Amino acid sequence: MKKEWLIKPLALSIVVLFIISCVISSSASNVVIEKSSKTSTKAILDQLLSPVMWTENFSIFYISTTNVSNISNVYYWIDWGDGDITDWIGPYNSNETVSISHEWDYDGIYQIIAKAKNQAGEIRRIFYSLTLFSDFKFFHPSIVWVDIIYKFTIHWEGFEYYMFDWGDGNLSGWFTGNISYKWSFPGIYELKLKAKDIYGYETPWSEPYVITITPIGNQPPNLTFVKGRAVGRPGTYKYKFKTTDPDRDNVSYYIEWGDGTPDYLTGWYHSGEEITLEHTYSKFGKYMIRALAKDIYGLKGPWASFEVSIQRNSRVVNVLFLRFLEHFPMLEKLLFLLK
């Protein structure tokens, strides 16, 4: 009887303590979630956004950053697509318009990359396409963010009016020279163009220009990790590729094998998922594997490289030792240099 008299209060006490601990744990969890939410909101408000570029005469270009909070000390870098680069200039305030002149020596289609950098070293970039021909000029972004206004500039000899099909179900109506637009939802859109002269003649719709619209704050994948045989004889080898995306978007890999065989574009994989591909090197020599990843919105990460040396070797090599070296490519390279 005494034992039962002691067990009941003890059991009741344990139950009460358990309930109290659950309440405290729940409260603590709520506090952490609330704090995380505030931190996330602050990060969105203070983040540096990609620069915006536009032009009106195809020789003077304007660049600025759009930001919720006025960030100072913004620097700009531009690759004009013709081998010329405007190195980091600045600092400027966000929303401050900067005028930059540039001219191209030849007709052609140029891919322009513009970058913005804040004082902390955070970099955001954007891609533009410029078409320059004697009778046709067209400047437009190719990868942009939602809810940001972008300007399109066009000149088509013999035509005065232009119309865009924005690819999202909306038409621009007829305009002359310049027009601005923004997309509200991320995705890949096919932009089409038609022109009309002063006599009312209309051209057919053009072939589509692909525009990739990314969410605000979307970032490209990180550096791709490449691992595999660094030294070997002619044959087929397995190589592993892996990257992570800051936004956890799915990624696709673009791979150059370095031996003249066609480049390889993979399907889509989860961020952080390691993939294994096989490639055959049939000739002696040194080859550079290059790989990068892009996310589902078309943003590309930096190039990664991995050197492979295919050599003559008449000696019989222990298979187990070769398999061991596959896990230590730096050791494999060192042994090769010591031969």
How many CB atoms are closer than 10 A to CB 162?
23
Question: Which CATH number is 162's domain given?
Answer: 2.60.40.10
CA 47 to chain centre: 17
Give the residues across from 309 on adjacent strands: 231, 286
The helix (H) or strand (E) run that includes residue 270 is none
Are residues 196 and 235 in contact, defined by beta-carbon separation less than 8 angstroms? Answer: no
Q: How many domains does the chain have?
A: 2
Same domain as 104, residue 253: no
Q: How far is the C-alpha of 285 from the C-alpha of 309, rounded, in Å?
A: 6
pLDDT reported for residue 286? 94
| pLDDT given for residue 339 in this prediction | 52
Looking at the domain assignment, is residue 5 inside a domain? Answer: no
Query: Both 210 and 97 in a single domain?
Result: yes
Structure tokens, 28: 């603590």
Residue where the block lists tokens 């096989």: 278
As a whole number of angstroms, the distance between CA 90 and CA 42 comes to 25
H/E stretch holding 99: strand 98-101
Residues 162 and 273 reside in one and the same domain: no
Indicate the length of the chain as a whole number: 339
Q: 125 with 113: CB under 8 angstroms?
A: yes
Range of the domain at 192: 47-214
Burial readout 176-203 (b: 16 or more C-beta within 10 A, e: otherwise): eeebebebeebeebebbbbbbeeeeeee
Q: What is the pLDDT of residue 34?
A: 29
Domain end (from 193, 214, 235): 214
- State the pLDDT at residue 71: 73
Helices (H) and strands (E) in the chain, counts: 3, 21
pLDDT at 336 (0 to 100): 54
Strand ranges (DSSP E) for 230-284? 231-232, 235-242, 251-256, 264-265, 275-281
* Domain end marker among 214, 233, 263: 214
The pLDDT score that the predictor gives to residue 33 is 26
Per-residue model confidence as pLDDT tens for the chain (339 residues): 444 544 445 444 544 454 444 433 433 333 332 233 333 333 444 567 889 999 999 999 999 987 656 677 899 999 999 999 999 999 998 889 999 999 999 999 999 999 999 888 888 888 899 999 999 999 999 888 888 899 999 999 999 999 999 999 999 999 999 999 999 999 889 999 999 999 999 999 999 998 989 888 788 899 999 999 999 999 999 999 999 998 899 999 999 999 999 999 999 999 999 999 999 999 999 999 999 999 998 888 999 999 999 988 644 355 446 656 666 666 665 655 555
What local confidence, expressed as pLDDT, does residue 333 receive? 59
Give me the amino acid identity at 196.
Answer: K
Q: Which helix (H) or strand (E) holds 45?
A: helix 2-46
40: how many CB neighbours lie within 10 A of its CB?
Answer: 9
